[in-house]
Structure 1
Amino acid sequence: MAEKKSPKNDGSAASREDRLKAALKANMARRKAQAKARADKQDQETGKSGE
């Protein structure tokens, strides 16, 4: 139990930072894809109603 309470190792800080970087990169990619899909959908809807 004592091992779980003290995760202050030099290696764990770097691995945590790497995990956070990877999670942020994945989140940004997902948000970008969602925004692109929304923009494409909106363009299609406005194109159809304009005809």
Structure 2
Amino acid sequence: MSDTPKQPTREERLAAKLRENLRRRKSQARAIAADDDSPGTETAPSTGPSGGNALPKVDGDS
């Protein structure tokens, strides 16, 4: 007798949005990984202000 479709609950809406977001992020990650694997697109590593060192040298470290 109720021909109107049931409105999804808040929990169902959030679950659907999370699934959609996960799919989008996975496809973005696959696209980025595919770009990284492409031949001929290598770039020189960035040395940055510290000359490529991840951490600055601290006195007392050897």
In structure 2, C-alpha distance between the alignment counterparts of 1:4 and 1:17, rounded to whole Å: 21
Q: Please report the RMSD computed on the Cα atoms of aligned residues, expressed in angstroms.
A: 1.9
**Larger of the two Rg values belongs to structure:** 2
TM-score by structure 1 length? 0.62
Alignment of structure 1 residues 8-47 onto 2, 5 Å: 16-45=9-38
SS of residue matched to 2:11: helix
Question: Which portions of structure 1, spanning 4 or more consecutive aligned residues, are displaced by more than 4 angstroms?
Answer: none
In structure 1, C-alpha distance between the alignment counterparts of 2:17 and 2:11, rounded to whole Å: 10
Sequence identity, in percent? 15
Structure 1 unaligned segments of length 5 or more: list them. 8-12
Structure 2 unaligned segments of length 5 or more: list them. 43-62
**Bigger helix fraction:** 1
Count of residues in Structure 1 that have an aligned counterpart in Structure 2: 40
Q: CA deviation at 1:16?
A: 1.2
